[in-house]
Amino acid sequence: MVKIALTGDRPTGKLHLGHYVGSLKQRINLQHEVDRNLVMIADMQALTDNAKNPEKIRNSIMNVALDYLSVGIDPNMSTIFIQSQIPALNELTMIYLNLVTVARLERNPTVKSEIKQKKFDQSVPAGFLIYPVSEAADITAFKANYVPAGDDQEPMIEQTREIVRTFNHTYRKDVLVEPKGIFPPKGQGRIPGIDGSAKMSKSLGNAIYLTDSADEVQRKVMSMYTDPKHVHIDDPGSIEGNVVFTYLNIFDSDVEQVAKLETQYQKGGLGDVKIKKRLIEVLNSFLDPIRQKRADYAKNIDYVEHVLQDGGKKANELANKTLKEMRDAMGINYF
């Protein structure tokens, strides 16, 4: 069986550490494990809640592409493309909309959560409500077997699986492939914001971006939420919910040293400033090569545009092939 993986991000700004922990690491590893790795810049999906500000999306596309390349997504091993450049995805979405009820879309936990977060109330854009169907089109157009994603996307992948089963059953032909979600290890799928919030988010202003300078990383880490009861150095501190230790456990490769710091902090005798300084050093060591690669790619935008255009051609060939098979199964290729 050909192993195909697909994933993507909305271009609404630069990517942050939450994106890296959530799925970027998986995409980088998958390049070496699957036969075809597709990485999509989901600009049409981003328009579902930014339709009146398309310039924001347009300006963010190159930022996201630069982030992809700088973290190590290799265009020689991965197909990077822009969603809106694949017309077949729109037709697939329309076909699937006739196989899904409004009630089912409204029950989708991820959609319900994001509607609440964005405070849409009763003014939910129709495009936003149906974006699980659009995601299903994105995945199935390329017959992806695997979808690396954050754990909050599991309901979306399950809805895609339902659509696949419904289509294949309705038209009595196994045209589409049921995807399998690939999620980060338990407890590592979501990184908290620097303010201690449950999720790092651009909209909440609590993110550390892959493009942040060393000074900006220092400023943000020094403002990080720790243990409010740890007032004096000699006070015993708690590491549970302590964002600095959460980040150290993710990004510090010296596991033994982190364990020692945790023990010392819990006993007392270790100040917040010291652990924050260690985290600053760790994060900047992690981000330095990413910053350098990004700067190099930014000097050659023509190359980045070529990568996106070439990726679009490859993605179009795959999506058009799937669409033809679907139309054949439905009996709507009239001529």
CA angle 114/7/210 to nearest 5° reads 80
- Using the structure block, give the residue that is written with the tokens 């501190």: 237
Domain range annotation of the chain: 4-191+301-330, 214-295
Q: Give the pLDDT band (50/70/90) at residue 54.
A: very high
Identity at 46, one-letter amino acid code? A
Between CA 255 and CA 268 the distance in angstroms is 20
pLDDT at 277 over 90: yes
- C-alpha 97/C-alpha 282 separation (Å) is 47
Looking at residue 227, its pLDDT comes to 85
Residue 95 has pLDDT above 90, yes or no: yes
Strand partners, 180: 146
Of 308, 281, 290, 292, whose CA–CA distance to 85 is shortest? 308
Average pLDDT over residues 308-318: 98
For the segment 49-73, the average pLDDT, to the nearest whole number, is 93
Distance CA(134)–CA(130), nearest Å, equals: 7
Q: Which one of 88-92, 184-188, 241-245 scores highest in mean pLDDT? A: 88-92
Residue 2 exposed, middle or buried by CB count within 10 Å (0-12, 13-18, 19+): exposed
Strand pairing class (146-148; 78-82): unpaired
Burial of 136: CB neighbours in 10 Å, binned 0-12, 13-18, 19+: buried
Phi and psi dihedrals of 117, rounded to 5? -65, -40
Res 298: pLDDT: 96
Question: What does R_g of the chain's alpha carbons equal in angstroms?
Answer: 22
Region 76-90: mean pLDDT is: 97
Q: What pLDDT is recorded for position 133? A: 96
pLDDT beyond 90 at 93: yes
Homologous superfamily of 4-191+301-330: HUPs (3.40.50.620)
Is pTM beyond 0.75? Reply is yes
Residue 226's contacts (CB-CB under 8 Å, 6 or more residues apart) are: 237, 242, 243, 244, 272, 275, 276
Closest CA to 200 of 17, 23, 7: 17
> What is the reported pLDDT for 202?
82
**Of the given ranges (171-180, 181-190, 206-215, 230-239), which has the lowest mean pLDDT?**
181-190
User: Residue 16, SS3?
Assistant: strand
Can you give the pLDDT at residue 188? 58
Average pLDDT of the segment spanning 28-42: 94
Q: Look at 189 and 84; give whichever has higher pLDDT.
A: 84
Decide: 3 and 36 in contact? Cβ < 8 Å.
yes
Q: What pLDDT digit, counting tens, does each position of 206-225 carry?
A: 999 999 999 999 999 999 98
- Tens-place pLDDT, residues 105-142: 989 888 888 888 777 877 888 888 998 999 999 999 99
* pLDDT score of 189: 59
Domain 214-295 listed as CATH 1.10.240.10? yes
Average pLDDT over residues 258-267: 94
Q: Output the six-digit token pair for 83.
A: 């969603």
Question: Residue 278 — pLDDT band, cuts 50, 70, 90?
Answer: very high
What is the average per-residue pLDDT within 29-58? 93
> In sequence order, what are the residues at sequence separation of 6 or more whose Cβ sits closer than 8 angstroms to the Cβ of residue 184?
21, 22, 23, 25, 26, 150, 151
Domains 4-191+301-330 and 214-295 share a fold: no
Average pLDDT, the chain: 92
For residue 170, name the pLDDT band (cuts at 50, 70, 90).
very high
Residue 187 has pLDDT above 60, yes or no: no
Tokens found for residue 269: 């005798």
Question: Which region holds residue 163: left if phi is over 0, alpha if psi is between -120 and 50, else beta?
Answer: alpha
Q: Decide: helix, strand or coil at residue 259.
A: helix
The count of C-alpha atoms lying within 13 angstroms of the C-alpha of 189, restricted to the half-sphere facing its C-beta, is 14
Average pLDDT, stretch 50-72? 94
Q: Any alpha helices (H) in the chain, and if so which ranges?
A: 17-19, 25-30, 43-46, 54-71, 88-97, 102-107, 109-117, 126-129, 131-141, 154-170, 214-222, 243-251, 255-267, 272-298, 301-330
Contacts of 4 (CB under 8 A, 6+ apart): 34, 35, 36, 37, 38, 142, 143, 144, 145, 146
> In the chain, how long is the greatest CA-to-CA distance?
81
